[in-house]
Amino acid sequence: MNRNQRAVDEELFHDIVPFIQAHFKISDNAQERAIAGLSMGGLQAIQAGIGHLGYFCWIGAFSPAVWPKALSNEFNSELKDSEKINQNLRLFDIVVGDNDKIVNFQVTNAWEAQLKQANVQHVYTVVPGGTHSMFVWRPALYNFLQEIFKH
């Protein structure tokens, strides 16, 4: 695991989750837990969700920064176990705008093709004319939450 993802995991599982548990009544059931993020946070949501299967069953990644150099070898190895991923996730939702110049739509599109080839179940939505902005993220989050609360 790379240094950045270790830092994200440390903060998420040692600071953020305990804080939320101390202040809100939340479920211990993975079926009732989700993680989502946008841009670099989208990448971190993917890595935390896939890296901690059985803790989250829902992953939302909006304009995720899935640059090849940002993905550790360990994470790429985890992606090869599509059966384990598919058994543990109820929804892996990826949304990107086709005019996103910041995370580069073509890079995201190529990464999504790798998910398909690896048989990782996911929903991939391309927003026509969408940029790296709230015009993509706001409806993406709304739709993601609608799916979660249907179940």
Residue 132 backbone phi and psi in degrees, to 5: -85, 75
75-110 pLDDT tens trace: 888 888 999 999 999 999 999 999 999 998 899 999
Which pLDDT score is estimated for 100?
95
Instruction: List the domain range (segments joined by +) for residue 129.
Output: 28-150
Identify the band that residue 42 occupies on the pLDDT scale cut at 50, 70 and 90: very high
What is the number of domains present in the chain?
A: 1
Q: Looking at residues 38-63, what average pLDDT do you find?
A: 93
Residue 80: DSSP 8-state: T
Could you tell me which of 112, 45, 53, 108 has the C-alpha nearest to residue 78?
53
CATH at residue 86: 3.40.50.1820
Identify the band that residue 121 occupies on the pLDDT scale cut at 50, 70 and 90: very high
- 62: in domain: yes
- 22: in domain: no
- 124: in domain: yes
Which pLDDT score is estimated for 74?
81
Q: Of all helices (H) and strands (E), which one includes residue 94?
A: strand 91-97
Which pLDDT score is estimated for 1?
53
Q: Looking at residues 122-138, what average pLDDT do you find?
A: 97
DSSP string, 98-134: TT-TTTTHHHHHHHHHHHHHTT---EEEEETT--SSH
Give the number of other Cβ atoms within 10 Å of residue 34's Cβ.
Answer: 19
Partners of residue 125 on adjacent β-strands:
95
- 38: in domain: yes
Two tokens, residue 7: 């830092």
Query: What average pLDDT does the chain have?
Result: 91
- 142: in domain: yes
- 16: in domain: no
- 57: in domain: yes
